[in-house]
Amino acid sequence: MKTMNVLIAQAMTLTVALSTHAQTFTNLNFEQAHPNPDTPGLVTAASAFPDWTVSIDGIQQTQVYYNVTSTGATQVALVSASSLDFTALDGNYSALLEGLVPGSVASISQTGLIPAGTQSLFFEANGDADSFELFVGTIAVPFAAIGAGPNYFIYGANISTWADDTEQITFSDFGGSPNIWEIDDISFSPTSIAPEPSIIALTAIGGMLFGARKSFARRF
């Protein structure tokens, strides 16, 4: 009986280990947020960014701002569709990474299983500086604008190398002035990113980026 109990315990441990290994990414559109309290100001990081880890300069944060933008500090904020300064890009909520202090870094990260067959990671974002980086584990992954929505651009990155692996995905905004990125709707896709966009497409996207960043900058 004792041997059987040991075997059952070992089986349960293995099951937990496998479940942890196979944990999928969740809340990639930030719609699971339930800011507590639901008023502008400081809220718990766990309620604003369920399943995400929020860090400033590598230090995990237990509080973030909700519908309050920074006046000069590096911070991570959750913004809603009713926010006055930065409204959500899509749906009810978006993440805002404000790297306003040179040398400082605002990040959100999550660890999960990148689905088998994944070729690309897509996300919607808007920003005003080339200070934003996407990491898979400790590797910085290049990304590029591949399209646009009404108030954001669609970015894509080739992450096929990590398909069917459990990895940490991190979005980081490196401090400067006024380096701010708003992101939303992160997704994994079996679709490959075209390696050489046409000149016409690049010109069109470049024009949209220039116009949007001028509009983004006018908020300050």
Kindly report whether the peptide bond that precedes residue 197 is cis, defined as omega within 30 degrees of 0. Answer: no
Number of domains into which the chain is organized: 1
Residue range 139-193, pLDDT digits in tens: 999 999 999 999 999 999 999 999 999 999 999 999 776 689 999 999 999 999 8
pLDDT for res 80: 96
Domain assignment of residue 206, yes or no: yes
Domain that holds residue 194: 26-217
pLDDT for res 86: 86
Domain assignment of residue 92, yes or no: yes
Domain assignment of residue 161, yes or no: yes
Q: Report the predicted TM-score, pTM, of the whole model to 2 decimal places.
A: 0.79
Domain assignment of residue 47, yes or no: yes
Backbone angles phi, psi at 108, to 5 degrees: -130, 140
Domain assignment of residue 17, yes or no: no
pLDDT for res 178: 66
Domain assignment of residue 6, yes or no: no
Domain assignment of residue 207, yes or no: yes
The 10 Å CB-count burial string (b at 16+, else e) for 39-70 is ebeebbbebbbebbebbbeeeebebbbbbbbb
Q: Which residues of the chain have pLDDT under 70?
A: 1-22, 128-129, 177-178, 194-220
pLDDT for res 50: 98
Return the structure tokens found at 161. 């190398």
Q: How far is CA 3 from CA 14, 82, 188, in A?
A: 16, 60, 44
Domain assignment of residue 148, yes or no: yes
Three-state DSSP at 160 gives: helix
CATH of the domain at 91: 2.60.120
